């Protein structure tokens, strides 16, 4: 049996204060300061943007990437492309990148259009999805690495929700735009290739843990 290839990745930041994750030579999102992610950019040739919220794409950081790393190609959905300069507008049609990489984009569910990505490279199936309360993969394939939002614990959220008077800020409604830890882990067990498949939990909220 062929040994599974290890994935070189770095979670630079994940959460409401900023998001940037390098997966091999692909960077997903640029919602942090340029200096915070610059070292990893030397290994990167592709930037995939999930959606246009400021914690996922920081305009000044994107401008710096464009200026200092012009070889990096930028991909984003139509809402991202409306706001920022991208090299390719991503829909739900798969596309190929150099070095034998295959990308399968798919829609999530949030308050603005959000795109998840399945990255196929070096014999690995890798999923990345954040800021979505559902994960509906367009293809049924076993996953080796799952980078997935795990925003809140459902039990703790229910307890916190009881403290807020009706008509005030509703933490439950806000959290339900995201994926819970319970749903994240359920997805992992259903879609993992085997017990060696890795789950990397993203976008955890300190309030709900």
Does the pLDDT of residue 1 top 60, yes or no? no
CATH code for the domain of 199: 3.60.15.10
The answer to the question of residue 73 being in a domain is yes
0.85 exceeded by pTM: yes
The answer to the question of residue 2 being in a domain is no
If DSSP codes are grouped into helix, strand and coil, which group holds residue 198? Answer: strand
Q: Which two tokens stand for residue 84?
A: 């920022």
The answer to the question of residue 198 being in a domain is yes
Provide the domain count of the chain.
1
Question: Taking Cα atoms as reference points, which of 9, 11, 14 lies closest to residue 178?
Answer: 14
88 lies in which domain range? 9-208
Using alpha carbons only, what angle is made at residue 157 by residues 153 and 161, rounded to the nearest 5 degrees? Answer: 180
More confident residue, 21 or 134: 21
The answer to the question of residue 135 being in a domain is yes
Q: What is the pLDDT of residues 140-190, one digit of tens each?
A: 999 999 999 998 876 775 666 556 555 555 555 565 667 989 999 999 999
The answer to the question of residue 3 being in a domain is no
Q: pLDDT at position 158, please?
A: 60
The answer to the question of residue 20 being in a domain is yes
The answer to the question of residue 38 being in a domain is yes
Paired strand residues for 7? none
Q: What is the pLDDT of residues 55-112, one digit of tens each?
A: 999 999 999 999 999 999 999 999 999 999 999 999 999 999 999 999 999 999 888 9
Average of pLDDT values for 13-37? Answer: 97
Residue 107 is inside which H or E element, if any? strand 101-107
């Amino acid at each position: 049996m062929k040994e599974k290839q290890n994935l070189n990745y770095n979670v630079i930041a994940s959460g409401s204060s900023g998001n940037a994750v390098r997966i091999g030579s692909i960077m997903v999102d640029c919602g942090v300061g340029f200096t915070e992610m610059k070292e990893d950019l030397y290994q990167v040739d592709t930037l995939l943007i999930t959606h246009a919220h400021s914690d996922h794409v920081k305009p000044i950081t994107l401008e710096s990437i464009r200026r200092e790393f012009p070889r990096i190609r930028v991909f984003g959905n139509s809402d991202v492309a409306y706001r920022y300069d991208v090299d390719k507008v991503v829909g739900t049609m798969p596309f190929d990148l150099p070095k034998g990489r295959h990308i399968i984009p798919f829609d999530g569910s949030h308050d603005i259009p959000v795109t998840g990505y399945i990255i196929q490279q070096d014999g690995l199936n890798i999923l990345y999805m954040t800021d979505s309360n559902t994960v509906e993969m367009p293809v049924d394939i076993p996953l080796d690495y799952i980078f997935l939002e795990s925003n809140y614990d459902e039990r703790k959220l229910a307890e916190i929700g009881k403290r807020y008077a009706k008509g005030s800020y509703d933490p439950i409604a806000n959290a339900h735009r995201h994926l819970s830890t319970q749903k994240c882990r359920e997805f992992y067990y259903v879609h993992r290739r085997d017990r060696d498949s890795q789950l990397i939990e993203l976008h955890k909220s300190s309030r709900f843990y």
